[in-house]
């Protein structure tokens, strides 16, 4: 695991650039940021602003008043289940085509997009890969308050150590499949112990 906040921050970058250049970290107004559109992490820095195309990250809901003051416990990393496998499309039986040369409208090359797997903590749902990311870095997570009120934060807030803070998207209820924590097997526990040594 990376030992320095700058290294940890890099874990929050996007895998590919889209409308914005998010595969790199960038400096805006005294903070270095990393994000992918669903998560945004930052830490203070005294470098000049980076040139590039960024979303308006400073305008996100960073104020502590938007979030509960008591943290939500995150599941231990070894209890977070793996992503459920994608399902074969029942419409085209996994071929991706309705007829030769006619693409199936119901799937992506024969695999059905499944709802996003998420874990429910208190009453907020966070995407499974985000739970994994936060748990791996020993983050402390705070739920948004008044989240059913339009205009209030639809993100949860997290801290990693004293230096990194971040915002993470809360899944809309009903848009994700809730997965339950698993009981680690002796093998996964042993592997964890080995990694910590």
Quick one: 89 or 118, whose CB is closer to Zn ion?
A: 89
The window from 11-19, 43-51, 65-73, 83-91 that contacts Zn ion (CB under 5 A) reads: 83-91
Is 58 strand, coil or helix? helix
The contact pattern for Zn ion, residues 103-142, with x = CB under 5 A and - = no contact, is -x-xx-----------------------------------
Among 8, 34, 74, 92, binds Zn ion (CB under 5 A): 92
The window from 6-14, 45-53, 65-73, 99-107 that contacts Zn ion (CB under 5 A) reads: 99-107
Residues in the chain: 197
CA atoms of 83 and 26, how far apart (whole Å): 30
Contact (CB, 8 A) for 141 and 39: no
Quick one: 27 or 92, whose CB is closer to Zn ion?
A: 92
- Cα–Cα distances (Å) from 185 to 32, 79, 146, 196, in that order, read 39, 9, 38, 17
Quick one: 11 or 91, whose CB is closer to Zn ion?
A: 91
Among 9, 80, 89, 171, binds Zn ion (CB under 5 A): 89
Quick one: 112 or 120, whose CB is closer to Zn ion?
A: 112
Contact (CB, 8 A) for 120 and 179: no
Pairing of strands 39-44, 164-169: antiparallel
Question: Which residues lie near Zn ion (CB under 5 A)?
Answer: 89, 91-92, 104, 106-107
């Amino acid at each position: 695991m990376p030992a320095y906040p700058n290294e940890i921050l890099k874990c929050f970058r996007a895998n590919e650039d889209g409308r914005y250049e998010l595969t790199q970290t960038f400096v805006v107004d005294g903070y270095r940021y990393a994000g992918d559109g669903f998560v945004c992490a930052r830490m203070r820095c005294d470098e000049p602003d980076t040139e590039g195309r960024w979303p308006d990250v400073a305008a996100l809901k960073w104020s502590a008043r938007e979030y509960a003051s008591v943290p939500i416990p995150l599941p231990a990393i070894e209890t977070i289940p793996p992503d459920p496998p994608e399902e074969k499309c029942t419409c085209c039986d996994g071929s991706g085509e309705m007829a030769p040369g006619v693409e199936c409208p119901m799937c992506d090359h024969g695999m059905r997009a499944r709802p996003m797997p998420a874990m429910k903590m208190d009453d907020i749902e966070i995407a499974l890969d985000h739970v994994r990311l936060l748990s791996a870095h020993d983050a402390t997570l705070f739920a948004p308050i008044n989240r059913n009120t339009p205009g209030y934060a639809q993100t949860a807030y997290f801290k990693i150590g004293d230096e990194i803070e971040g915002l993470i998207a809360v899944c809309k209820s009903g848009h994700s499949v809730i997965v339950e924590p698993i009981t680690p097997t002796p093998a996964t526990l042993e592997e964890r112990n080995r990694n910590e040594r």
